[in-house]
Amino acid sequence: MVNDDCGLVLGGDIHTTRDDDEVLDWDFCIHPDTRILSLQERGGKGSLPSEAVDFSGRIKELRGDIIDAIRQLLHAHCVKEIRLPEEDYDPVWVIWFGKNGEPYECRVTGLRVTADSLTVLAEEKESGDDVDIQELSKQLKRANPAMVYLVLGTQAVLQQEAKDVFLNLIPEEERVMNVGSYDMETTPLADALDDAMAAPFFGERRLVILNKPAFLTGGTSRGALKQDGEVLREYLKHPQPTTVLVLLAPYEKLDGRKGVVKDLKKLAVEVSAAPLDEPRARCLVEQRFQADGYQLGRGAIDELVRRTNADYGKMMAAVPVIELAVYQDKRVTDAAVAGLVPQSLDENVFDLVQAVLNREQVEAVRLYRELLESQQAPLQINAILVSQFRLLLQIKVLSNRGLSQGTLAGQLKVHPYRVKLGLQTARRFSMDDLSHAYLGLIRCERALKSTQQDPELLFQLFLLQYTKQKVS
């Protein structure tokens, strides 16, 4: 039974405000997506009337209770309006419906209360806002494609998934003649756009892909061909209606000061290939396993997330390996994941960090020795330890100032999953604990660089000094 520290998003999943390591049994008998088709009275006296299945009244009552609770909370703090920061990493979206019944998406910017009401402040999502790969796939199935697309982001697997979606626009037997793919580091832009201007060969449309258009960014790769952006600007004025032009840009951002980028942003549909946060990555991987006909055991995805640091590319790369290994019974367990997916160096070091902070000297030395035996350089191990403790200190300081997990990830420029784990650790240990470990590792690094002492001995000395500080 769930009594406290939990919430339910209508249309979504049950969630908890507690840390993952505090929740021992996270299992519910009714899935939020389950539809109730019939009810049976206790004792087998027959089915209940159909109106017993109607929860609309209860939902309305619950909605009223939630609104009233928010109003009371704001009133208690003498606040009439809350504004959400524009740079919020994880914004809230609402779906509203126009007079014609068409849905449109709005971003929530704040809440305003009056004597008897609660008003949601929101801005309509601009048509130029980016879409993800799943939304792109849906759009292309229900409508004709746009003439120009920009796939922007550094997640390689998402770049490839987007490319595959666009390739599906062209029947396989037509791809030889109606698909052109050009590397912008070696091919003149004018040549690629000449292809884009050509009519399709015995088909409905052509697909032209421009890979790595570095001329749209602030810099270019060494030895890359210099491109004239004006050629693309001219094409964008009159794009070929029978051609789908796709720019696969594996970059964090483009140079918005350039005229060609401004023109491109006005016309192109932007598709996001930015690294996914943990919940989204987890959801897509689960969907992939289920679509392939595999059942997921308790903790299987958790283990995969932990071993890959929630990196979507690494998670998807592990999927075929896992599926092949459990092909017989088609059940993915946490044990199977643990046996098939190696931990990253960062994850191994994370375990070492926990052992250090808990003053578990024997376990810490064992983990350190394992890293050495796996041919990891002592300086590299120490450098990652230093970076881990630096991150924990930053998280500790900024979270004490009231910054949210999403804001922390944005400011520190690290994956939200690392911030999530860091918050769990930082809450358990004092600033002194973290700073003493950090400074001790800095001294250890100096000794590694300036002496010929055994690295393992230096690490043991660091552990001894750190433990003594706690005792004293």
From CA 157, how far away is CA 275, in angstroms rounded? 9
From CA 159, how far away is CA 144, in angstroms rounded? 21
Q: Which amino acid is present at 75?
A: H
How confident is the model over 130-147, as pLDDT tens digits? Answer: 788 988 988 888 778 999
Instruction: Give the chain's residues under pLDDT 50.
Output: 1-3, 8-13, 28-36, 127-128, 471-472
Question: Three-state SS for 154?
Answer: coil
Q: What's the pLDDT score for residue 416?
A: 78
Q: Where does residue 297 rank: exposed (0-12), middle (13-18), buried (19+ CB within 10 A)?
A: middle
Q: What's the pLDDT score for residue 79?
A: 76
From CA 444, how far away is CA 373, in angstroms rounded? 19
Q: What's the pLDDT score for residue 235?
A: 95
Runs of H (alpha helix) within 216-344? 229-237, 259-267, 278-291, 300-308, 312-325, 334-340
Q: What's the pLDDT score for residue 40?
A: 54
Greatest distance between any 2 Cα atoms in the chain: 83
Tell me, what DSSP letter sits at residue 342? P
From CA 202, how far away is CA 174, in angstroms rounded? 8
Q: What's the pLDDT score for residue 35?
A: 46
Mean pLDDT, the chain, as a whole number? 81
Q: Above pLDDT 70, what percent of the chain? A: 80
From CA 143, how far away is CA 163, in angstroms rounded? 18
Q: What's the pLDDT score for residue 102?
A: 56
The model carries a pTM of 0.60
> Can you read off the two tokens belonging to residue 355?
């052992």
3-state secondary structure 374-405: CCCCHHHHHHHHHHHHHHHHHHHHHHHCCCCH
Q: What's the pLDDT score for residue 442?
A: 92
Q: What's the pLDDT score for residue 120?
A: 77
Q: Which amino acid is present at 33?
A: D
Q: What's the pLDDT score for residue 33?
A: 43
> Can you read off the two tokens belonging to residue 225?
């061909």
From CA 408, how far away is CA 9, in angstroms rounded? 24
**In the beta sheet, which residues pair with residue 151?**
248, 271
Q: What are the φ/ψ torsions at residue 372 (nearest 5 degrees)? A: -65, -40
What domains can be seen in the chain, in order of their start residue?
Answer: 6-38+52-124 (no CATH), 133-272 (3.40.50.300), 279-340 (1.10.8), 345-471 (1.20.272.10)
